[in-house]
Structure 1
């Protein structure tokens, strides 16, 4: 007989095991030890018992006792495992361990999103509709889903004009003096090649600056159709024109007290300047101008700069009286002289012009030419622009001719293209032509084709011009931008941005966001809505919890509805419960524990049980005040609903649960995000010690990772050093539950940024980015056990490898090797061998020895740091087959 006793068995546990071994023995070893004791020489009273048959009563008693010991040691081992955080298997055990260090398992957290409302048009378009928080919107469920309710958590300011503001689609055409091409509006009069044109600044033509060839008159040298019925004219002009469309820098005009504002004076004051809506608001408040009057004044102002150049076609072309006289055919003694200067005809006709004036006689009657119009005289070398002071029809006899003509009274000197004055006496009757009756041509606004979100000229990627002046759109307003992506035809995207500045530029608004747009959008598909409010998953419930009893300590009440909604907050856990509790209509405050509470402090605790139910606990009169006695005096207003069920698709929230006056529709342009289910057991094991490890401070990279991972809605986190050319900031990459992307401008990311800055070193910059999900593909041939069906083997292998390389099983920055893939495939039942044919990222199958996931690093182009990747297996690129 061996000298080694079967029991107690030696117990040895190496570090890092997922479970403890703490049993002194099992049924076989206990039974062997008991039977060994029957032959022990120290027990002479048992020496007479020599039977070893199983049906012996004594042996049956020993067998029963061995079974009892087996049961006792099994539960003793279970109890030993539950005594440690790493090895505990029951949620209540993990919760009890966590509470020892002040950690509470995270409950389910509500998802959030921005809702875009559509307001009804009403009789007062300048009025702003104001709605308090609590607007309820219900989702349209997909197959297998239940309707989800969201509520707004901030006030909504809405206007019908803010439903779908459009970007500026055309820019006023600004002509230069040497313009070679102009675009006319669709309703402009028809022109033909060779028609004479002038470019007018006010009442004076503008000369083309071309040195010795400078002149007023232009000719139409080309005609073609443009966008939207516009007509494009090419002008015969030597100098090159400046680009007709350019974004002018904004002048920030400042209102000064005492400035007399009115709808008439503002037309002149606003033109050519940029005005902040805050400035205009101050002016309107001071001078009692309504928003409607301000809007009318802004829209009446001319966006073009002072003295714009406008085209005009010269409809009348005339010669001067006497240009056809055949004086040489007359008798020599007739005494009739030949025509000379255009100003000499007055003497021949017996007229005397006033001082510094001259009479010009056209070759026939032109009743359409009237006083106040302009006149252009040209000969082979000179041009002169004149203003007609008087025009009348009369008969003239001179140069052997008699005719009914139009006599024009003009200055005796005209304006030359070089700006000097030129005497009309230098123009001859036979060599000069008069052009009159300039008809203004309507310029077409130039179409803007640049995508919204693309920097162009002085316009940045964080700016967009809208077609209307929105005087009531103040900085801080949240806007929703939707449209078709310029880089992906047919793909519609949406973004939420916060308005940083609203400048009134001419007759429209220039909006500047706090962040550039993430995408570029086709301009005519873009719609901007300002009727936006933040909403979170959950429904408000008002409930009477019960009666207060001053004789009871630590009085406790259970909320009848659940789960209790927790929303994002700027604290170490990243969330707070959405509950308000009042006793005798007086609000009591929520605390984490009663240790710092005094006898008179009106505070209470919140406890979430294993089944998800919520309880509120009050003090005992020493640590926290007792409840005063009363009937139904303990009331709560809270919200119910949370978890990943709130992660809906974009556009699913489209049913107004109630119909508030003035609102007719609602939608969510982006998918709700930030929701989380109650903390899982494995996550609790990892997250519970973090508060002790960091003690509320973040120093090392591991501290930043642990701090971010313990934040609500964050499932994975990684911290990396980067470099910006001067310092080494830290980049923290995070991933939401289930692989969700947390909105960059959402509350979760903003609150986590603030918490990291508060917990970290003050002189160390910390960046926060969403992870980059990257899928990889693989192809393999499986050698299957002949006893298994091939399709069963493939199905089992597929499930095994997808689970091994799922989001939950992978870490940020973790690579994938061939050995890991083969091991995962061979763990499937029925797989006896694997021939790996392809392991790759991208679209081209190839066999790579290892796939590397990018870590957080600086961007070589100087942009934002590049976030870490997470490699997961793409089911579409997974190809398995059983080898023949």
Structure 2
């Protein structure tokens, strides 16, 4: 040992709580050899031979020189047997001293490194390591769509994931029986697929923008199109076309303001049919045959008749001008009643020599003629007498009255008869093709474009006629457009963004009532049933309280659930309710096995179930928060598992369990005072266990998608939420804190520190932090517990389980609120200086990265614990090959693990603005997550 050991060394200065190792030894083989040399020098002082043999002690001016001399002395070549005896003795002292120091450490819980030592020390406190925990999750079962496939699915239904890495699938089993009904597979709101938006369009709001998934290339700015919504329609023109939208401008001649439901709104564009109708509108008549007349001709018809004595019936003629001709259809300058015969008139012009008279025949079929002016004015021509005898040579009018005149020649036959006045407006030639009732068409009239839905279609040998319920009167139609190649819907048309839940009561933000589409009330839909409500980006489990039928007799049911929910989280378009919901736990049940033979004479019999990986399920009655997933029978009677037999009466058929150091299950039965003794029998104690626990069970949502075996009632399975709560056996490091804390809490929570200690005893929890909240008037005591679940992620049902467990261990009236930690991401920018002649920079950078990830991981970090930049330097420069480094903390700011901006409680910076210390809030946990914020590690050559 060091020669100064008894005189000067005070090793108790190292024995401070919090160290991972207590150092009871000062020195090593090299220093011990030097101590021996110095001692011999003093004993043989003045003996030159001995002094030469011991060697010159040298003149050590620095600590480094002293260390270098001692190493060379110890490692130098052998001189003789006496020197080798000294060196061997120094080496033996080194080994024995450090062995004794190590054994001394094993006697102290804070420094013990051997599992057996830790186990014995915590056993002295009557503390047992918390068992592992098995993850749990909710499964939505999908029944086969068959009326006969309704019934009970018993506990133990096995489902599994499908790993992509070649590993064996994980098995989960349902923990309860459930009545499955295929009608409850997936329930939706009655109008979930109909948008409730109303879009205005009309003269006051002429522009409307539609959002499209994609814009077809056939759409072009300026093209005419049609907007429809149910029985409402309007003519529009395409105005603006973008990458995912198109704007239309109202151009309907009806000039009506429309309120269009988005769910029914369609944009009809790119017509495949466009045709002009037969002549129609005011002044149009249909005749019995195609007349040989042209536009501009004047026709006469009998407008009146009367009887004159001696002369008989005298007809009065009127004339009209032909404006357009379309086969047997004529557009006339005035209306002509049906049944009238039309007579062609003749034109009389001036004399060929340019005279001033309009010359007509001497004999006229009607005494009056009509001037070729706008009004076709009637005149009576003057007779020109024959100069050589009596009679009339011709009749004439002054050419100054009109450029010409029309007269009805004697004996002129009718050119046609009017059989219909203002005939059917929309008559077309040819074949209608794919036109059919119900289609939307655009019609161009005198006053503009109209949108109309086709009510009917009649076809004959001469063409076809379109019929509409209503058309503007006195309108002439020029064109019909239809058979739209494109019928586009706004991409929001089937998204009902209104909340699934009814509006909250006044003064509240939460609601418990929702309506679902269901024809009748399944027998399985009873109060107490668990339901999963999936929203757009999250889901929640609720419990059914009440079911009411639609008083109006509709195909809907009103459900009241608990707890109430924020309606904004669940829009109808994205919300689904899974009614066949059952809890499942990680693990697979094994066949029952014989545990041993009971003996009533023996007290507190123990049996070892030599299986590892036992599943543990949540149970708030247990201090550890979980109980073993085992069933035990003695003489075919099932015994009850309890947390501790000390709490049992002499008549209770109970047992308790604990894990051995090898992870096997040790079961202990009663002693007759605390729990019954086992009945005597041969191999009469049997056990059945479920195997599966640990962090591996914390599967993300959607992982469990396969039934292990087909089931007569089931078609599929869905895991709507992540599995949570899986944790490993309590680690040795955790025992150092949790075992002493158990002595202080005695499984009861009084102070905030007690709540934290009890929470951290559970394997499902990595870290916890508790604080007392201010009591509100009339409210009971409140404790807030911030939890880092094992493996990270969300709490899920672990939050409610922790709350129940801690409230049972707390004083009456204490309310515990459990919330998830806020993960504050650590961003690192590190420059390493490396002797590149001796080390590979990439390998050194990889080792630095691994060191940082291991030391600053989620599991290692602590809630609310600050991080100093000096800690980074300590970690980085401890890696072999790093000469020195530059480290920067979060140069780009702070984000949490939900990718949202965040901020720590305090930041301490240097004069150059660099961060020297980050102090999180009590509920924040600062950690390094390379998947979300990978450290930026750069290297450069180190130059001396």
What TM-score does the superposition give when structure 1 sets the normalisation length?
A: 0.60
The secondary structure found in structure 2 opposite 1:509 is strand
Task: Deviation per CA, 1:4-41: give whole Å up to 9, x if none.
Answer: 57899764233123212335976567777888999999
Q: Which has the higher strand share?
A: 2
Q: Identify the residue that residue 569 of structure 2 maps to in structure 1.
A: 520
Q: Identify the residue that residue 794 of structure 2 maps to in structure 1.
A: 741
In structure 2, C-alpha distance between the alignment counterparts of 1:60 and 1:90, rounded to whole Å: 35
In structure 2, C-alpha distance between the alignment counterparts of 1:613 and 1:696, rounded to whole Å: 24
1:818 Cα deviation after fit: 4.2
The answer on 1:755 being equivalent to 2:777 is no
Matched-pair contact (CA < 8 Å) for 1:461–1:517: yes
Q: Identify the residue that residue 113 of structure 1 maps to in structure 2.
A: 137
Q: Of the candidates 187, 192, 200, which is equivalent to residue 165 of structure 1?
A: 187
Matched-pair contact (CA < 8 Å) for 1:162–1:530: yes
In structure 2, C-alpha distance between the alignment counterparts of 1:74 and 1:631, rounded to whole Å: 53
Q: Identify the residue that residue 322 of structure 2 maps to in structure 1.
A: none
Q: Of the candidates 256, 261, 278, which is equivalent to residue 226 of structure 1?
A: 261
In structure 2, C-alpha distance between the alignment counterparts of 1:483 and 1:62, rounded to whole Å: 79
Unaligned regions of 5+ residues in structure 1, if any? 43-47, 175-179, 181-185, 194-218, 233-438, 440-445, 486-492, 857-866
In structure 2, C-alpha distance between the alignment counterparts of 1:606 and 1:674, rounded to whole Å: 20
The secondary structure found in structure 1 opposite 2:893 is strand
Q: Identify the residue that residue 481 of structure 1 maps to in structure 2.
A: 533
Matched-pair contact (CA < 8 Å) for 1:538–1:641: yes
Q: Of the candidates 520, 523, 538, which is equivalent to residue 587 of structure 2?
A: 538
1:683 Cα deviation after fit: 1.1
Matched-pair contact (CA < 8 Å) for 1:735–1:771: yes
In structure 1, C-alpha distance between the alignment counterparts of 2:940 and 2:81, rounded to whole Å: 60
Matched-pair contact (CA < 8 Å) for 1:166–1:467: yes
Q: Of the candidates 829, 834, 837, which is equivalent to residue 784 of structure 1?
A: 834
> Kindly tell me: are residues 608 and 163 of structure 1, through their superposed partners in 2, closer, same or farther at Cα, counting changes over 3 Å?
same
1:552 Cα deviation after fit: 6.4
In structure 2, C-alpha distance between the alignment counterparts of 1:602 and 1:65, rounded to whole Å: 63
Q: Identify the residue that residue 415 of structure 1 maps to in structure 2.
A: none
Matched-pair contact (CA < 8 Å) for 1:802–1:873: yes
Q: Of the candidates 702, 721, 726, which is equivalent to residue 651 of structure 1?
A: 702
> Kindly tell me: are residues 668 and 38 of structure 1, through their superposed partners in 2, closer, same or farther at Cα, counting changes over 3 Å?
same
> Kindly tell me: are residues 35 and 782 of structure 1, through their superposed partners in 2, closer, same or farther at Cα, counting changes over 3 Å?
closer
Q: Identify the residue that residue 540 of structure 2 maps to in structure 1.
A: 495
1:305-320 paired onto structure 2 within 5 Å: none
1:595 Cα deviation after fit: 5.9
What TM-score does the superposition give when structure 2 sets the normalisation length?
A: 0.57
Q: Identify the residue that residue 768 of structure 1 maps to in structure 2.
A: 818
Matched-pair contact (CA < 8 Å) for 2:864–2:925: yes
> Kindly tell me: are residues 789 and 454 of structure 1, through their superposed partners in 2, closer, same or farther at Cα, counting changes over 3 Å?
farther
In structure 2, C-alpha distance between the alignment counterparts of 1:821 and 1:834, rounded to whole Å: 10
1:568 Cα deviation after fit: 0.7
RMSD: 4.5
The secondary structure found in structure 2 opposite 1:799 is helix
1:150-549 paired onto structure 2 within 5 Å: 150-169=172-191, 222=257, 226-229=261-264, 449-452=496-499, 456=503, 460-468=510-518, 471=521, 472=523, 473-485=525-537, 493-506=538-551, 507=554, 508-517=556-565, 520-541=569-590, 542-548=592-598
Q: Identify the residue that residue 322 of structure 1 maps to in structure 2.
A: none
Q: Identify the residue that residue 20 of structure 1 maps to in structure 2.
A: 22
1:483 Cα deviation after fit: 4.6
Task: Deviation per CA, 1:398-446: give whole Å up to 9, x if none.
Answer: xxxxxxxxxxxxxxxxxxxxxxxxxxxxxxxxxxxxxxxxx9xxxxxx9
1:677 Cα deviation after fit: 0.9
> Kindly tell me: are residues 147 and 165 of structure 1, through their superposed partners in 2, closer, same or farther at Cα, counting changes over 3 Å?
same
Task: Deviation per CA, 1:240-288: give whole Å up to 9, x if none.
Answer: xxxxxxxxxxxxxxxxxxxxxxxxxxxxxxxxxxxxxxxxxxxxxxxxx
The answer on 1:689 being equivalent to 2:689 is no
Unaligned regions of 5+ residues in structure 2, if any? 45-49, 56-77, 197-201, 203-227, 236-253, 268-468, 470-492, 903-911
How many aligned residue pairs are there? Answer: 608
In structure 1, C-alpha distance between the alignment counterparts of 2:727 and 2:627, rounded to whole Å: 13
In structure 2, C-alpha distance between the alignment counterparts of 1:588 and 1:627, rounded to whole Å: 10
> Kindly tell me: are residues 8 and 591 of structure 1, through their superposed partners in 2, closer, same or farther at Cα, counting changes over 3 Å?
farther
The answer on 1:805 being equivalent to 2:856 is yes
Q: Identify the residue that residue 103 of structure 1 maps to in structure 2.
A: 127
> Kindly tell me: are residues 29 and 763 of structure 1, through their superposed partners in 2, closer, same or farther at Cα, counting changes over 3 Å?
same
In structure 2, C-alpha distance between the alignment counterparts of 1:52 and 1:522, rounded to whole Å: 91
The secondary structure found in structure 2 opposite 1:653 is coil
The secondary structure found in structure 2 opposite 1:114 is strand
Q: Of the candidates 623, 632, 657, which is equivalent to residue 606 of structure 1?
A: 657
> Kindly tell me: are residues 714 and 7 of structure 1, through their superposed partners in 2, closer, same or farther at Cα, counting changes over 3 Å?
same
Q: Identify the residue that residue 731 of structure 1 maps to in structure 2.
A: 784
In structure 2, C-alpha distance between the alignment counterparts of 1:137 and 1:617, rounded to whole Å: 32
In structure 1, C-alpha distance between the alignment counterparts of 2:230 and 2:888, rounded to whole Å: 72
1:449 Cα deviation after fit: 2.6
In structure 2, C-alpha distance between the alignment counterparts of 1:844 and 1:575, rounded to whole Å: 37
1:12-161 paired onto structure 2 within 5 Å: 12=12, 13-16=14-17, 17-23=19-25, 27=29, 69-123=93-147, 128-161=150-183
The secondary structure found in structure 1 opposite 2:768 is strand
1:592 Cα deviation after fit: 5.5
The answer on 1:570 being equivalent to 2:620 is yes
1:152 Cα deviation after fit: 0.7
In structure 1, C-alpha distance between the alignment counterparts of 2:820 and 2:229, rounded to whole Å: 53
The answer on 1:849 being equivalent to 2:906 is no
Task: Deviation per CA, 1:111-130: give whole Å up to 9, x if none.
Answer: 000011110123358xx522
1:467 Cα deviation after fit: 1.6
Matched-pair contact (CA < 8 Å) for 2:195–2:262: no
The secondary structure found in structure 2 opposite 1:802 is helix
The answer on 1:586 being equivalent to 2:586 is no
Matched-pair contact (CA < 8 Å) for 1:25–1:73: no
